[in-house]
Structure 1
Amino acid sequence: MLAKGQAVIQYMEQLAPKHVAMEGDKIGLQLGSLQKDIKCVLTALDVNEAVVDEAIKLGADLIVAHHAIIFRPLAQLQTDTPMGKVYEKLIKHDIAVYIAHTNLDVTDGGMNDWMAEALGIEPGEALEDIHTDRLHKLVVFVPKDHHRQVLEAILNAGAGAIGQYSHCSFNTEGQGTFIPGAETDPYIGTPGKLETVEEMRIETIVPESLQKRVIQAMLKSHPYEEVAYDLYPMDLKGRTFGLGRVGKLREPATLGEFVERVKEKLDVPFVRVVGDLNRPLRKAAVVGGSGGKYWKASMFRGADVLVTGDIDYHTAQDAQMAGIALIDPGHNAEKIMKAKVAEWLEQKLREGKYETKVFASGIDTEPFRFI
């Protein structure tokens, strides 16, 4: 059985929820339709003509990419321009394009965690908090004979997480009353007659990022036609999503030694470096993409070095005078996401018993050549 496009994207948004993206970011479905069977998914950093040709060759119906193909509003769509040709090929071959950008950057187990892990940076804190999940209290009333079924469905969907504890809930017994309407087909009771039923009240916490998923699981597992439930906003803060990562190096190194590690692990031929190559490093920060402005935040959190792309001349000067080292592997170092996203989707599709295939793009989209 092949997965529908919406099913693939639901898995993707479990990894990178759309609502945690930075304001104004161009994410989500940018071209095509998800209302179709997906035979093959291609993951890519960028979508250019070579990547589209690769998708056509593989028979891909969907490209999941990091960088947007439509970043500014289109005044017209001319197919004789370079990007117009890309759009034309995608449309003619019915290939949809879905973008996960800053939501993939900030999520736990996403871009910045992948880069930190590759460079041997221990799990630490974010450099800047972008989004904090709002928490809601879910209360639902269930007939006693379906209590365990509904409870497990809710908790297995992700509700009930408090700190390092999961599957937290509170359950009380009580009596529910209702009169089924004339056109109803009640699980319990008779239309037009007052019914009193022994029920269980389930209370648990639901983070905003999982709210839709939890409610769907609850409704699917509940026997009633009309489910009685409440959802209350809470003042308590949930999980925080942040940009960048900073932590201790598992293996302390000199700046020169760490440069070689960056080149190897991020698969880049050259880097630009600011700082004394003999300087010992104990703590490092990393920001995928263009993160030069985070050198002060990195320094404030005790980092000896910041690894990020697109560092400009004056930022390099300021950081050098302030005493923090910089390593610029280029924006394209984010290509680490291709294999990681492919691995995530492949695992989820396999768990769902789908036959949809997933490939990581092998196309090098680095625009610069180092001579």
Structure 2
Amino acid sequence: MFAKGAHVVQLIERLAPKHLAVPDDKIGLQLGTLAKEVRRVLVTLDVTPAVVEEAIGKQADLIVAHHAIIFRPLAHLQTDTPAGRLYERLIKHDIAVYIAHTNYDIAEGGMNDLMADALGLTETTHLSDVHTEKLKKLVVFVPESHHEPVLQAMFRAGAGWIGNYSHCSFNIEGTGTFLPQDGARPFIGEPGKLERAAEIRVETIVPESAEKRVVQAMLKAHPYEEVAYDLYPMDLKGRSFGLGRVGKLPEPEPLSAFAKRVKASLNVESARVTGDPDKPIRKVAVLGGSGSRYVRQAQMAGADVIVTGDIDFHTAQDALAAGMAIVDPGHHAEKMMIQPFAAWLNEQLKQAGTKTEALPSETDTNPFWHV
């Protein structure tokens, strides 16, 4: 069977939850409906007329893009404008468009991790923290016979992480009481008779992103008709998520050599460079897309260079005066996400038992050419 559009999006949001996006970012479903079967998903960086024609030719029902097609509220929708013609073509062919932008940039395994991995960076941290995950404590009472299956089901769903430790829980033996009423179908005991059962109180940590999944897994593995459990908010903070990455090269190298590494690793035609060609580069900041606002932050993080796009003239001058190197491979360097994103989504769709497939776009959406 083919997956519904809503199911495809649920899978994507496991990797790049919406709450990770920076405020006011244009993400999510921007056009069409998810209440339909999706045979093929086309993964792209941008939605251009050529990409839409590619989607039509490949019979895609959903386009998943990194960059939004609607940036501000529409005052009107005229089909004799370039944007209007694009929207009309998508609507006529019933192709929905879903955007994963800064939530994908920030996500673990997302855009900025791909860039850091491509450049061979190690010991990476966030360049700019954006979101710290809230934690809850889940308490559930389980009969001794099902203690281990319920516990492992919660762990598999994402519960029990504290820092670098997994499978964290606390378990207390005790006695539970309940009196099944008429119409009840108890796992233990019988209606109208007070029952005492040997149970284990299980306490574990649940991150907000996995709360629904963990509770569902727990309920599915639990044998009771009515499960007694509690969720408590905690002051303890979970994982932090952020824009950009800062990491180290295995060995220092001159800026001129590093710039060539960037060009080759990100598969771009050229890269603009600011700084002394002989400057030793060891600590590197990366940020996909437009990163002029983060040059100073990268320097404060101890980076010798920042790799990012859309650097303006005055930002480059200020960085040069401050001794900070910049390698600008262009905004379109983010095209590197297309293949790995499509491969990841294909694996998720396969594991979910669907026939839906994700296709990487083959259309070049770079608006620039080089002389």
TM-score > 0.5, shorter chain as reference: yes
Which one-letter code corresponds to 2:25 in the other structure?
Answer: D
**Aligned position for 2:367:** 367
**Aligned position for 2:174:** 174
**Aligned position for 2:315:** 315
Task: Please say which of residues 25-34 and 241-250 is displaced more in the overlay.
Answer: 25-34
What displacement does 1:77 show?
2.2
Alignment of 1:124-143 (within 5 A): 124-143=124-143
Taking the aligned partners of 2:147 and 2:222, their CA distance within structure 1 comes to 9
> Are 2:206 and 1:206 equivalent residues in the alignment?
yes
Taking the aligned partners of 1:63 and 1:290, their CA distance within structure 2 comes to 23
What displacement does 1:134 show?
0.9
> Are 2:325 and 1:328 equivalent residues in the alignment?
no
Classify the secondary structure of the residue corresponding to 1:116: helix
**Aligned position for 1:62:** 62
Which one-letter code corresponds to 1:26 in the other structure?
Answer: K
Q: 1:272 to 1:148 in 2, by over 3 A?
A: same
**Native 8 Å contact 1:255 1:277 kept in 2:** yes
**Native 8 Å contact 1:127 1:246 kept in 2:** yes
What displacement does 1:39 show?
1.4
Classify the secondary structure of the residue corresponding to 1:147: helix
**Aligned position for 1:194:** 194
Taking the aligned partners of 2:121 and 2:81, their CA distance within structure 1 comes to 43
Q: 1:300 to 1:182 in 2, by over 3 A?
A: same
What displacement does 1:293 show?
1.4
**Aligned position for 1:97:** 97
What displacement does 1:352 show?
2.6
Taking the aligned partners of 1:185 and 1:29, their CA distance within structure 2 comes to 43
Classify the secondary structure of the residue corresponding to 2:202: strand
Structure 1 stretches of 5 or more lacking a match?
none
**Aligned position for 1:267:** 267
- Taking structure 2 as the reference length, what is the TM-score of the superposition? 0.95
**Native 8 Å contact 1:342 1:360 kept in 2:** yes
Which one-letter code corresponds to 2:334 in the other structure?
Answer: E
Taking the aligned partners of 1:41 and 1:123, their CA distance within structure 2 comes to 34
Q: 1:143 to 1:79 in 2, by over 3 A?
A: farther
**Aligned position for 1:253:** 253
What displacement does 1:201 show?
1.4
Task: Please say which of residues 158-167 and 32-41 is displaced more in the overlay.
Answer: 32-41
Task: Please say which of residues 200-209 and 171-180 is displaced more in the overlay.
Answer: 171-180
**Aligned position for 1:120:** 120
Taking the aligned partners of 2:2 and 2:169, their CA distance within structure 1 comes to 36
Q: 1:58 to 1:198 in 2, by over 3 A?
A: same
**Aligned position for 2:277:** 277
Question: How large is the RMSD of aligned CA atoms in angstroms?
Answer: 1.7
What displacement does 1:191 show?
4.1
Which one-letter code corresponds to 1:165 in the other structure?
Answer: Y
What displacement does 1:183 show?
4.6
CA deviation digits over 1:157-180, x for unaligned, max 9? 111012222122222222222333
Taking the aligned partners of 1:147 and 1:95, their CA distance within structure 2 comes to 47
**Native 8 Å contact 1:44 1:360 kept in 2:** yes
Structure 1 residue ranges, 4+ long, deviating more than 4 angstroms after superposition: none
**Aligned position for 1:242:** 242
Taking the aligned partners of 2:301 and 2:353, their CA distance within structure 1 comes to 44
Q: 1:37 to 1:293 in 2, by over 3 A?
A: same
What displacement does 1:234 show?
1.4
Classify the secondary structure of the residue corresponding to 1:244: strand
What displacement does 1:252 show?
2.6
What displacement does 1:331 show?
1.0
Q: 1:158 to 1:293 in 2, by over 3 A?
A: same
Taking the aligned partners of 2:148 and 2:282, their CA distance within structure 1 comes to 50
Taking the aligned partners of 2:147 and 2:99, their CA distance within structure 1 comes to 39
**Aligned position for 1:302:** 302
**Native 8 Å contact 1:140 1:203 kept in 2:** yes
Q: 1:304 to 1:145 in 2, by over 3 A?
A: same
**Aligned position for 1:342:** 342
Classify the secondary structure of the residue corresponding to 1:153: helix
What displacement does 1:188 show?
3.6
**Native 8 Å contact 1:120 1:251 kept in 2:** no
CA deviation digits over 1:251-284, x for unaligned, max 9? 4321111111111111211222111222221111
